[in-house]
Amino acid sequence: MSLAIFISRRLTLRSPSGKALSGIIIAVTGISLSVIVMLISIAVMTGFKQEIRNKIMGFDAQLTVSSHQSDNNPESALVDLNEIRPSLEALPPQASASLTIRQPAILKTPTEFTGAIIKGMSKDYDWKFVRDNLVEGVIPDYSADSTLYHIVISRNLSNTLSVRLGEKIDAYFLGDDTYRTRRLKIAGIYDSHFSEYDNSIIFGTLKLPSSLVGLDENLGTQLEIYGLGNDTDIRKCANHLSSNLMDELYTGHIQRLYTVTDVHSTAALYFNWLSLLDMNVVVILTIMSLLTCLTLVSSLFILILRRVNMIGILKALGATDALIRRSFVYLTMRILAIGLLIGNFIGLAVILLQNKTAFIPLNPEAYYLDHVPMTLDITSLLILNVGIVVVSLLVLIIPSAIITTIPPSRVIKYE
């Protein structure tokens, strides 16, 4: 053990009466509050971005493959799954592809009507996102012919049309200068709180829109790809798949021009909005870090002023300025350690409690969520705490230089 650490451990943070110094209590309280605010800010921003990202990717696939329509040939706008299947082998093993058809329709009841998009999904589609947001009913078993006209509608649309679970609505599909009518049954109601999508998207089976125009089950308007991992993986897979499809076109193995779009393009507005939220976290962390540093510097000055005569005695005994400075810096770091311990405990308790009970609500119409999401991983927690300690040590170096200006001959009898 170094002599500086030994001295700092022997020094007390209490008054001669045994009570904690009021200045130290204020310092610990300020540091704890700063840590709590920083922890919760990171957890809220991380959780919010993750939840919104998951909702976006529940409606818009991570990658979307579509076909470029040539003049006077509407069928060229369709994606042929059999044609591009060899190119999909380059995707990661965990990736899943689902053929979809998005068909606009006018929905009508005896008293109300509105427009919507019926999203027909193939049998390979993973219904986890819809199932997680389902509030009434069930997801139909689309392997049975009897469920062809069963749909999962949003709560917003059900309220707009004044219909409930199990009721039927008339859907009008326009095309070829005419329209086709189908009566659809509401088998399930979902609510993602994402009004921009909830107001327009209805989920059904791929066979529903395919049957309107007699399309083969291997044809659709889009091929949606999921399960690619993080944003970097999505971009890499998009570039790789696009390159493969272009090579297949040039070599004559496919006859249509396919384009690959990632979710950052199809939902660019929302991702740009999420990226702006990072600035809020930076501002909060900066302000709280400054508060912590100012609190520690004030505590250091208080400790030095209360022990000026001790500093003079140590200097008279031959202690160097560097030794005494290190001793008081270590003593101040004890205050930081107490504040970190209390701040981390309270901050993590709030985060865990919010995740269990969701006791802090949000207005879903404004934030797309009905509660404040909080997510904090171990890595972020460690980086934050280590960063606070390192910055605090660096900040305390300069103020501790005041010790070098204290003459031992004048301060030994200082009261």
Q: How far apart are the first and last CA of the chain?
A: 31
Whether the pLDDT of residue 149 is over 90: the answer is yes
Given a contact cutoff of 8 angstroms between Cβ atoms, the answer to whether 41 and 281 are in contact is yes
pLDDT band at 216 (very low <50, low <70, confident <90, very high): confident
- pTM, rounded to two decimals: 0.82
For 249, half-sphere exposure in the C-beta direction (CA atoms, 13 angstrom radius) is 12
- The pair of three-digit structure tokens given for residue 74, joined into one six-digit string: 């509407």
What is the sign of the dihedral through the CA atoms of 12, 18, 19 and 23?
A: negative
Tell me the three state secondary structure of residue 235: helix
Whether the pLDDT of residue 123 is over 70: the answer is yes
Average pLDDT value over all residues in the chain: 86
Distance CA 244, CA 224 (A): 17
Distance CA 284, CA 40 (A): 10
Using one digit for the tens of pLDDT, what is the confidence trace for 252-267? 888 888 999 999 988 9
Beta bridge partners of 99: 223
- The pair of three-digit structure tokens given for residue 12, joined into one six-digit string: 């007390």
Residue 409 CB neighbour total at 10 angstroms: 9
Distance CA 108, CA 378 (A): 51
Using one digit for the tens of pLDDT, what is the confidence trace for 313-363? 777 777 888 888 888 888 888 889 999 999 999 999 999 999 999 989 988
Strand pairing class (222-226; 150-154): unpaired
Residue 135 CB neighbour total at 10 angstroms: 13
